[in-house]
Amino acid sequence: GQIVHLADYRPTDFVLERVDLTFELDPQNTKVEARLIFHRREGVDASAPLVLDGDELMLSGLLLDQIDIPAAQYDATPDRLTIRDLPAETPFEICVTNYINPEANTQLMGLYRTNGVYCTQCEAEGFRRITYFPDRPDVLAPYTITIVAAKEGNTFLLSNGNFLGGGNYDEGRHFAAWFDPHPKPSYLFALVAGDLGLIEDTFTTMSGRDVALKIYVEHGKEPRAAYAMDALKRSMKWDEERFGREYDLDIFMIVAVSDFNMGAMENKGLNVFNDKYVLADPETATDADYANIERIIAHEYFHNWTGNRITCRDWFQLCLKEGLTVYRDQEFSSDMRSRAVKRIADVRHLKSEQFPEDGGPLAHPPRPDKYREINNFYTTTVYEKGAEITGMIATILGEDDFRKGMDLYFERHDGDAATVEDFVKCFEEASGRDLSQFFRWYIQAGTPLVSASTSYDAASSTFTLSLEQTVPATPGQSSKQALYIPLSTALILDNGQIAAPSKVEGGEYKNGVLHLTERSQTFSFSGISSRPVLSLNRGFSAPINLHLEQSAEDMVQIARHDTDMFSRWQALTTLAMPNLVKATNAVRNDAPVAFDAGFITTLIEVIGDDALEPAFRAQVLALPSESDIAREIGSSNDPDAIHQARNAAMAAIAKAGVETLTALFDAFEDKGAYSPDATSAGRRSLRNIAMSYLSFAEETPKRAADAFAAASNMTDLAHALSILTQRFPDSAEAAQALATFEARFADNALVLDKWLSIQAAIPGEGALGRIKSLTGSKHFVGTNPNRVRSLIGTFAFGNPTGFNRADGEAYRFLAEQIVSIDKRNPQLAARILTSMRSWRSLEPVRADHARAALTTIERSPALSTDVRDIVERVLK
Ligand code: B3K
Ligand code: ZN
């Protein structure tokens, strides 16, 4: 675990021209033969050796231009192969042979086995676990792949690119060959072999080429891949229409596997997916599952241009492909669904995941300048904040110049391993704007705070807005420079119209966007005939914390009348927050808990407004989460008090709104056949959240138990189960429903993940005991990442009271789990450990327990670099 610095970047000494790999697959002893053609880069010293990366490899043969290399000419260790005295000017071929054991590969990086299928994961540095290689993203070459395997158990032999041919090899074995003409880095390599079921379709591209589409899943699960196929075709079409991007091979394949460390992987022409994000039918998948499948299928497909055709020069540039591709998938989902609701959901996610990261010990810039373990930088900052930065470029430039910039990027950098600077430069050139100050978003960590104050002068019809920005200190960055912050802004008049000022002074204001560039800046708007209500950061145009003293009346006005639906939701959230904080304090002081009547009335009025789309109303009903409240309070948090306060708010809303909520529950019953479309999903979400509220107004679990019995799809079934278990955990109905669910889906691991995570989320004292006993359940398979995330991950990330119990027992439990998971799968262990990132904002008793548990991890022998990196940063 050495620290790698961006400043140390330099190109390789040798240029890789071609890659030719032959795999002879065997579960325990796969032979890999790699023929690599290199030439020495111009200007590189003739004595410079060729250094290839490895990871747990053992060299078995080494040839230079088909001749054995004498032992004195090279050094081979498990993680490096160094070859000296190579030709100075002419190209040469290195042939490396080694053997690997896929079955023993529990890290799920490199070539491994999952349910009898061979599968690879190479990003970021997994290829070096397959063969010695210059395993870095700026080394691009065309690949030819030959796969040899027993016919039995390996019907399909798949790799990247176009199929060249195949046939019988020898007794009982067959082979297939693939050629990928598009030069690619090793992290995009993939190989899959096994017996799988298949669904097929075709897509005709905008230039009229037919592309074969294939989705491979476990036998018997083919019907459950239909929605993924549909999402794929819509993604391909959308990328043509929206960005002019056409697919570039004859075939596009997706394989669903059951053991996978993350969501999916964009390998060229052969995406590998966690089966959770491919398989869906109404009986087994929720609306959220469908939306995730659509989004992730799109995301991986969009990588074909943003990531594959244009890749990253080095891993520091990760947000070049990830932030941009998240931006693209968010736009896609917005076009497929409701834009306003999608934006609200994305902002909720950003605030509950990225903001705590950016405000805690793991904060880092979207483009970091050093790392110890790159796998720990696939973060919400790189992904989601990266997407927000892309969105801000679009806001600053406007739609047309943004598209021009994207076109220029695709044209200029196709085939390149590019940098974030290259990307931003395209937008500068397309728009004529200087984005050097804007660039600071990429290299400064921390969520900016913008404080706003306003005044209105009737005599001069002038509205004044004073803004001040600060970026908090983050690890390794104590002082920050002012950012370029685009703030979508409207002044709303009494009649609900948006004011058109006759003049704006103090800075740029164009198309409703204020360009805040100074630390403090005052804008004055002339020609405003009556005192307006300020609607600031509309659509969350910048990922900031906003501090604006605004009267409850003004917020209510926005909540009721703003033309921007996001702003209406935001105003209601802003109204809710002080109520929730005040209630938390009251709970802690044993004082009576009370809520502002205006807030509750407005909320009930909005959710009862049939002119508004149901999904929007459901978002309004979903109060800020417990972790949002904790973040707002900031320090010395007591998760139990927050939980009680939030429940008290729900109870108060339920009491005051029981009629409206009951009417919603009745009106939005799902009749007829299930459809996963956004409108139907929105109706279900409104009904289900109304039912959650009603459970606070009712003494018995009857409503939820009836809903469980009546449910005709997984969305309703899982929701009813979660109300039963969360609200009435000790009831016979809850126990009965859990047993029914378990029995009904006993053979469906993905559905049992819901059964595990619903139980892992049950709040309170009993949680830890429940989790411990579930680790012994036959449905919990400790080697499968989905099972571990569903049980241990949900407990640590999604059960604030159960996990943060005051005696610290759950922290100690997590520490033991982390150390044990780390032994087989470091990436998974490190990811789950990030659940401890906010421990310093807990009240002192819990914080002490958390520190002690973290310290036991830190002192445990033989930690992976992944876990060591996280634990040390979290404790620092
Ligand atoms: N690029 C992959 C993530 C790889 C994670 C490696 N630890 C999936 C994605 O972002 O599309
Ligand atoms: Zn991605």
Q: How confident is the model at residue 405 (pLDDT cuts 50, 70, 90)?
A: very high
How large is the average pLDDT for residues 576-603? 97
Q: Which helix (H) or strand (E) holds 181?
A: strand 173-184
Of 300, 322, 384, 613, the active-site residue reads: 300
CA dihedral of residues 598, 602, 608, 614 (deg, nearest 10): -140
133/478 Cα distance (integer angstroms): 39
CA of residue 524 to ligand 2 center, whole Å: 42
The verdict on whether 89 is a catalytic residue reads: no
The predicted-structure confidence for 434-452, as pLDDT tens digits, reads as follows: 999 999 999 999 999 999 9
Q: Give tens-digit pLDDT for 739-784.
A: 999 999 999 999 999 999 999 999 999 999 999 999 999 999 999 9
Residue ID of nearest Cα to ligand 1 atom 3: 265
Q: From CA 421, how far away is CA 854, in angstroms rounded? A: 38
Q: How many other C-beta atoms can be found within 10 angstroms of the C-beta atom of residue 650?
A: 17
Residue 653: pLDDT band with limits 50, 70, 90:
very high
Contact 266 CB / ligand 1 (< 6 Å): yes
Q: State the distance from the centre of ligand 2 to the C-alpha of 327, rounded, in angstroms.
A: 10
Question: What's phi and psi for 322, nearest 5 deg?
Answer: -80, -45
- Is the shortest distance between the CB of 289 and ligand 1 below 6 Å? no
Among protein residues, the one whose CA lies closest to atom 1 of ligand 1: 265
Say if residue 489's pLDDT is above 90.
Answer: yes
Distance 376 CA to ligand 2 centre (A): 14
Quote the DSSP letter at residue 636.
Answer: S
Rounded to whole angstroms, how far apart are CA atoms 214 and 229?
Answer: 8
Ligand nearest to the CA of 124: 1
Residues 278-282 have a mean pLDDT of 98
Closest-CA residue to 134 (of 15, 306, 8): 15
* Gap from CA of 377 to ligand 1 centroid (Å): 10
Cβ 300 under 6 angstroms from ligand 1:
yes
- Check pLDDT > 90 for residue 310: yes
**Who's near 805: CB < 8 A, 6+ residues apart?**
765, 767, 768
Q: Going edge to edge, which strands form the sheet with 156-159?
A: 110-114, 117-121, 191-194, 156-159
Take atom 9 of ligand 1 and give the residue whose Cα is closest: 265
pLDDT tens digits, one per residue of 816-841:
999 999 999 999 999 999 999 999 99
Tens-place pLDDT, residues 345-368? 999 999 999 999 999 999 999 999
Choosing from 121, 262, 327, 375 the residue with most ligand 1 atoms within 8 A of its CB, the one to mutate for a pocket test is 262
Q: How many helices and strands (H and E) does the chain possess?
A: 30, 33
Q: What is the mean pLDDT of residues 475-492?
A: 98
Query: Is the distance from CB of 341 to CB of 616 less than 8 angstroms?
Result: yes
Share of the chain above pLDDT 70, in %: 100
Q: Check residue 495 and give its pLDDT.
A: 86
Stretch 516-528: mean pLDDT, rounded? 98
Q: With both helix axes pointing from N to C terminus, report the angle between 597-607 and 639-656 in degrees, rounded to the nearest 10.
A: 60
**pLDDT surpasses 80 at 1:** no
Query: For a pocket test of ligand 1, which of 301, 311, 322 has the largest count of ligand atoms closer than 8 A to its C-beta?
Result: 322
Q: What does the mean pLDDT of the chain come to?
A: 98
- Whether a cis peptide bond, with omega within 30° of 0, leads into 124 is yes
CA distance 614 to 707: 19
What is residue 103's predicted lDDT score, i.e. its pLDDT? 98
At 496 the pLDDT is: 87
> Which ligand 1 atom is the nearest neighbour of the CA of 266?
11
* pLDDT over 80 (residue 409): yes
Q: Residue 555: left if φ>0, alpha if ψ -120 to 50, beta else—which one?
A: alpha
pTM listed for this prediction: 0.99
Q: Of all atoms in ligand 1, which is nearest to the CA of residue 299?
A: 11
Inter-residue contact 436 to 331 (CB < 8 Å): no
- Per-residue pLDDT, averaged over 561-587, amounts to 96
**Cα–Cα distance list, 495 to 532, 561, 720 (Å):** 10, 9, 43
pLDDT digit string, tens, across residues 416-434: 999 999 999 999 999 999 9
User: How close is the Cα of 275 to the center of ligand 2, in Å?
Assistant: 17
Count Cα atoms within 13 angstroms, Cβ side, for 569.
27
Look at residues 288, 261, 17 and name the one whose alpha carbon lies nearest to residue 143: 17
The residue behind tokens 């708007």 is 525
Residues 566-591: what's their mean pLDDT? Answer: 97
pLDDT of residue 236: 99
The alpha carbon of 121 and the centre of ligand 1 are apart by a number of angstroms equal to 9
Which atom in ligand 1 lies closest to the alpha carbon of residue 303?
11
Go through the domains of the chain in sequence order and give each one's CATH number. 311-443 (1.10.390.10), 449-543 (2.60.40.1840), 550-697 (1.25.50.10), 745-876 (1.25.50.10)
Nearest CA to ligand 1 atom 8: 265
pLDDT of 670 reads 85
Centre a 10 Å sphere on the Cβ of residue 481 and count the other Cβ atoms it contains.
Answer: 10
Looking at residue 731, its pLDDT comes to: 98
- Yes or no: say if 872 and 834 are a contact pair by the CB < 8 Å rule: no
Question: ipTM for the complex?
Answer: 0.99
Task: List all residues 6 or more positions away from 606 whose beta carbon is below 8 Å from its beta carbon.
Answer: 559, 560, 568, 572, 612, 617, 620
Report which of 728, 729, 715 is spatially closest to residue 686, judged by C-alpha positions.
715
The DSSP code for 483 is P
Largest Cα separation within the chain, whole Å, is 95
> Would you say the CB of residue 267 lies under 6 angstroms from ligand 1?
no
Percent of the chain past pLDDT 90, that is, above it, reads: 99
Q: Which two tokens stand for residue 467?
A: 């803004």
